[in-house]
Amino acid sequence: KAAEAPVAEAPKGEEQVVLGEGCVYCTLCAKKCPVGAIEVDRANKSWTIKQEDCIKCGACITGCPKKALSMK
């Protein structure tokens, strides 16, 4: 099994990943998150990000096919 490349950690600041309109609860953002900071409950159509665990790498934003996530 090939080793995964390390994820570059962005500086911790006031920025947070936020959910906008368009989310279809596909779970791709959670699958792309290298630290497991995102939880998606498809059955209840709910989405949670543990901001304290988020390393602000942007993997969830680039992985979202609906462009429903952003950094603010």
**Model confidence pLDDT, tens digit, residues 28-69:** 999 999 999 999 999 999 989 998 999 999 999 999 999 999
Which pLDDT value is given to residue 25?
93
Q: Distances in Å between the alpha carbon of 6 and those of 9, 15, 69?
A: 9, 22, 22
Q: What gap in Å lies between CA 26 and CA 72, rounded to an integer?
A: 22
Per DSSP (E only), the strands in 1-72 are 17-19, 38-41, 46-49, 69-71
**Model confidence pLDDT, tens digit, residues 17-33:** 888 889 999 999 999 99
